[in-house]
A and B are shown apart, each in its own frame.
Chain A
Amino acid sequence: MDRRSRGPATTDILEVKNLKAYYLMNYFGISREVRAVDDITMNVRKNEVYGIAGESSSGKTSFIKVLAAAIRPPLRVVGGSATFSFGNQTVDVGSASPEEIEAIRWRHLSYIMQGSMSVLNPVRRIGRIFEDFAMRPLGLTGSAFRQRVIEHLGHLKLGPEVLTAYPHELSGGMRQRVTIGLATVCKPEFIIADEPTTALDVVVQKDVLALIRNLQREMGSSIIFVTHDMSVHANMADRVGIIYAGRLVEEAPTRELFQSPKHPYTAHLVASLPRIGDTTQRPALEGRPPNLAEPPPGCRFHPRCPLAIDICRKEVPPLETVAPDHRTACWRWREVEPLVPVAPVRTAEVIA
Chain B
Amino acid sequence: MTALLDISHVSKSFQMGGILSRRRVDAVQDVSFTLEVGKPEIFTIIGESGSGKTTLARMILGLERPSAGEIRFRGEPVTHANRAERLKFMANVQPVFQNPFEAFNPLKRVDRYLESTARRFLKARSSAEVGAAMDGALQKVGLSLAEVRGRFAHELSGGQLQRVAIARALIPNPPLLIADEPVSMVDASLRMSIVNLLRKLRDDLGVSVIYITHDLATAYYISDRIVIMQKGKVVEMGPARAILDRPEHPYSQLLKASVLSADDAGAGKLGAAADLMALSDSLLSAPRSSLAERPDGRLVRVYAAA
Tell me, yes or no, whether B256 is within 8 Å of chain A by CB.
Answer: yes
With contacts A2-B266, A210-B270, A350-B246 known, is A268 near B189, CB below 8 A? Answer: yes
Q: With CB as the reference atom, state the residue of chain B lying closest to A281.
A: B196
Chain A residues within 8 Å of B159, by CB: 288
With contacts A235-B268, A276-B244, A281-B196 known, is A202 near B187, CB below 8 A? Answer: no
Contact residues, B124-166 vs A (CB, 8 A): 156-160
Tell me, yes or no, whether B14 is within 8 Å of chain A by CB.
Answer: no
Q: Is the CB of B258 within 8 A of A274?
A: no
Chain A residues within 8 Å of B269, by CB: 235
Tell me, yes or no, whether A4 is within 8 Å of chain B by CB.
Answer: yes
Contact residues, A265-286 vs B (CB, 8 A): 268-270, 272-279, 281-286
Report A246 CB to chain B, min CB distance, Å.
16
Chain B residues within 8 Å of A234, by CB: 260-266
Chain A residues within 8 Å of B266, by CB: 2-4, 234, 238, 253-256, 258
Report A218 CB to chain B, min CB distance, Å.
15
Contact residues, B248-274 vs A (CB, 8 A): 253-273
A-B contact list, 28 entries, CB within 8 Å: A1-B268, A2-B266, A3-B268, A203-B48, A203-B254, A203-B255, A206-B272, A210-B272, A234-B263, A235-B260, A235-B268, A236-B268, A238-B266, A254-B265, A259-B265, A269-B188, A272-B189, A272-B191, A273-B188, A274-B217, A277-B245, A283-B192, A285-B189, A288-B160, A289-B157, A342-B263, A345-B263, A351-B273
Report B279 CB to chain A, min CB distance, Å.
11
Tell me, yes or no, whether A209 is within 8 Å of chain B by CB.
Answer: yes
Q: Is the CB of A229 within 8 A of B270?
A: no
Additional pairs, 4, CB under 8 Å, beyond known A56-B187, A288-B157, A351-B257: A213-B270, A277-B245, A281-B196, A282-B195
Chain B residues within 8 Å of A278, by CB: 220
Contact of B221 among A236, A274, A350 (CB under 8 A): A274
Q: Is the CB of A231 within 8 A of B157?
A: no
Chain A contact residues, CB within 8 Å of chain B = 1-4, 55-57, 172, 201-207, 209-210, 213, 228-232, 234-236, 238, 253-259, 268-270, 272-279, 281-286, 288-289, 342, 344-345, 347-348, 350-351
Contact of B262 among A270, A284, A347 (CB under 8 A): A270
Q: Is the CB of B260 within 8 A of A277?
A: no
Chain B residues within 8 Å of A279, by CB: 220-221, 241
Contact of A201 among B48, B193, B271 (CB under 8 A): B48
Report A334 CB to chain B, min CB distance, Å.
22
Q: With CB as the reference atom, state the residue of chain A lying closest to B264.
A: A344
Report B208 CB to chain A, min CB distance, Å.
19
Q: With CB as the reference atom, state the residue of chain A lying closest to B248.
A: A350
CA separation between A60 and B49, bound complex, in Å? 28
Chain B residues within 8 Å of A206, by CB: 258, 260, 270, 272
Interface size on B, residues (CB 8 A): 51
Report B60 CB to chain A, min CB distance, Å.
22
With contacts A1-B268, A4-B266, A56-B187 known, is A351 near B214, CB below 8 A? Answer: no
Tell me, yes or no, whether B277 is within 8 Å of chain A by CB.
Answer: yes
Most buried by B among A56, A232, A281: A56
Report B147 CB to chain A, min CB distance, Å.
11
CA separation between A268 and B188, bound complex, in Å? 10
Chain A residues within 8 Å of B216, by CB: 202, 276
Chain A residues within 8 Å of B244, by CB: 276
Most buried by B among A3, A275, A284: A284
CA separation between A285 and B192, bound complex, in Å? 8
Contact of A202 among B188, B196, B214, B276 (CB under 8 A): B214
CA separation between A228 and B188, bound complex, in Å? 6
Chain B residues within 8 Å of A272, by CB: 188-189, 191-192
Q: With CB as the reference atom, state the residue of chain A lying closest to B263.
A: A344
Q: Is the CB of B265 within 8 A of A202?
A: no
Chain B residues within 8 Å of A286, by CB: 193
Chain B residues within 8 Å of A255, by CB: 265-267
Contact residues, B214-250 vs A (CB, 8 A): 214-218, 220-221, 241, 244-247
CA separation between A206 and B246, bound complex, in Å? 21
Tell me, yes or no, whether B3 is within 8 Å of chain A by CB.
Answer: no
Tell me, yes or no, whether B87 is within 8 Å of chain A by CB.
Answer: no
Chain A residues within 8 Å of B157, by CB: 57, 288-289
Q: Is the CB of A258 within 8 A of B265?
A: yes
Q: Is the CB of B272 within 8 A of A202?
A: no
Chain B residues within 8 Å of A204, by CB: 48
Q: Is the CB of B188 within 8 A of A235?
A: no
Tell me, yes or no, whether B283 is within 8 Å of chain A by CB.
Answer: no
Report A245 CB to chain B, min CB distance, Å.
13
Tell me, yes or no, whether B68 is within 8 Å of chain A by CB.
Answer: no
Q: Is the CB of A285 within 8 A of B270?
A: no
Q: Is the CB of B187 within 8 A of A274?
A: no
CA separation between A56 and B156, bound complex, in Å? 12
